[in-house]
Structure 1
């Protein structure tokens, strides 16, 4: 699992550790979960991550295929409101919630 907190709405996604994936997965050419080859129309960007890679601070660019990312995104849509102060105050103002729901709807098409 990635240990460094990220800023975007997909930051809470449970990803493999960068030391457990291939070079192609680190650069986003293959799905971070199934290792399938990705193309522009099949890839979902999971936001750049800053982590220690083989003991060296680095940046990696995980991407996933639509079939692998759908379930983790749906889980985030369900669990996010319970961990978000903005959702507790007024969920209609939460940008993260909106981004997650939009992605979930897009992935279901």
Structure 2
């Protein structure tokens, strides 16, 4: 099954969840998502999601100089982002539970 459409629907939630514990820069967030099992996540999708979440006021950012290359822009979840994460987590759990119930009916 192609999971790309499913991933589009939950990428905001996944990025907020990854940033919940530690700040991160673009490629760091990509690596953490992949390490968490979202192997098909695209770099451009994550960078776009970070910009969108920042523009929506759910993230803050700061720049860290690097001696080995370009400066890195780090993103941090703020209180508004934490509230959205909590709300989205509950929405996801409800949706997943409903879908699990439908799938159990099909299997029976």
TM-score (norm. length: structure 1): 0.30
Higher-Rg structure is 2
The structure whose residues are more often helix, as a share, is 2
